[in-house]
């Protein structure tokens, strides 16, 4: 049965601080240890980023998984009915990482590349279906969460996640010709 897990950073009653100097790079980090063998569709809610946060990078490390392990990373918002974070509303499950193969080997990934064992992780890191661009600015407070495909990680396997972002209060980040 698919199970939802929540980090303390995600469930904390206080929202992440959005009143910080513009452009200063901030980081949130969390470690997830599988409480049992993860199943298809298991979800771990990781971080909440404040409104106006600009995503710089997400850095992930994982232990060797079981066979056919995959990992996706997506976004969610507070429950659209209750406004609470204990049952968030999904925006898209694969708009950051789209089913990255993490089969049987430890590895690491960031938005700009990664590896599992000796294999390159590449286009899966672009996400899919309204994929988020590098530098995406969240207009509302947004959560990041991971989902596992197939029989991904054994009991006690560790996964580590760090999200880098800054807060931008400006109207745009546009360009002009000439």
Apex 176 CA angle, 170 and 178, nearest 5 = 150
Q: Which of 141, 145, 158 is nearest to 102 (CA)?
A: 158
Q: Kindly state the smallest distance separating residue 43's Cβ from other proteins, in Å.
A: 25
Maximal CA-CA distance, the chain: 59
Q: Kindly state the smallest distance separating residue 147's Cβ from other proteins, in Å.
A: 21
Which residue's CB is nearer to other proteins, number 17 or number 172?
Answer: 172
Q: Kindly state the smallest distance separating residue 21's Cβ from other proteins, in Å.
A: 8
CA distance 173 to 117: 38
CA distance 31 to 27: 14
Residues in contact with other proteins by the rule CB under 8 A: 21, 23-25, 54, 56-57, 110-113, 120-123, 125-126, 133-135, 166, 168, 172-178
In the 8-state DSSP scheme, what is residue 132? Answer: P
Q: Kindly state the smallest distance separating residue 123's Cβ from other proteins, in Å.
A: 6
Which residue's CB is nearer to other proteins, number 83 or number 178?
Answer: 178
Which residue's CB is nearer to other proteins, number 60 or number 121?
Answer: 121
């Amino acid at each position: 049965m698919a199970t939802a897990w929540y980090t303390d950073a995600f469930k904390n009653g206080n929202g992440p601080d959005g009143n910080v100097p513009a452009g200063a790079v901030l980081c949130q980090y969390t470690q997830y240890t599988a409480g049992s063998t993860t199943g298809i569709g298991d979800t771990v809610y990781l971080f909440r980023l404040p409104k106006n946060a600009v995503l710089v990078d997400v850095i992930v490390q994982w232990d060797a998984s079981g066979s056919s392990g995959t990992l996706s990373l997506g976004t969610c918002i507070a429950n659209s009915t209750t406004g609470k974070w204990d049952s968030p509303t999904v925006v898209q499950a694969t708009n950051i990482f789209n089913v990255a193969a993490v089969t049987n080997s430890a590895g690491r990934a960031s938005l700009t590349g990664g590896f599992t064992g000796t294999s390159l992780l590449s286009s899966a890191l672009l996400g899919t279906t309204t994929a988020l661009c590098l530098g995406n600015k969240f207009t509302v407070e947004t959560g990041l969460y991971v989902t596992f495909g197939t029989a991904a990680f054994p009991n006690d396997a560790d996964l580590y996640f760090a999200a880098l972002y800054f807060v931008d209060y400006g109207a745009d980040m546009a360009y002009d010709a000439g």
